[in-house]
Amino acid sequence: MKLHTFLSYGGNCEQAFRFYERHLGGRITMMMTRAEQPNQNDVPPDWKNSIQYASMNLGETAFTEEPRIQVVCLP
């Protein structure tokens, strides 16, 4: 069974994925900054180096960074 997990990071996505790669044996399959995306002209200058999209395989788990995810906690 393969698990697909979508995560959202508070500005440290690249550092987290590099940590998982180095210390847990993950394999980064894609990492794109906001400056590399198709509509890069709409990106504020201070956001250019932040990660827009990243994915990684770690064993049977696929991690995807998704900046648009909002966490909703229900009682």
Instruction: Give residue limits of the domains in the chain.
Output: 3-65
CA separation for the pair 38, 2 (Å, rounded): 30
Q: Model confidence over 10-45: pLDDT tens digits?
A: 788 899 999 999 999 999 999 999 899 888 788 888
pLDDT at 68 (0 to 100): 60
Confidence grade of residue 69 (pLDDT, cut at 50, 70, 90)? low
Q: How many CB atoms lie within 10 A of CB 25?
A: 10
pTM comes to: 0.76
CATH assignment of 3-65, given 1.20.1270.360, 3.30.720.100, 3.40.190.10, 1.20.120.160?
3.30.720.100
Residue 58 has pLDDT above 70, yes or no: yes
Q: What DSSP element (H or E) covers 38?
A: none
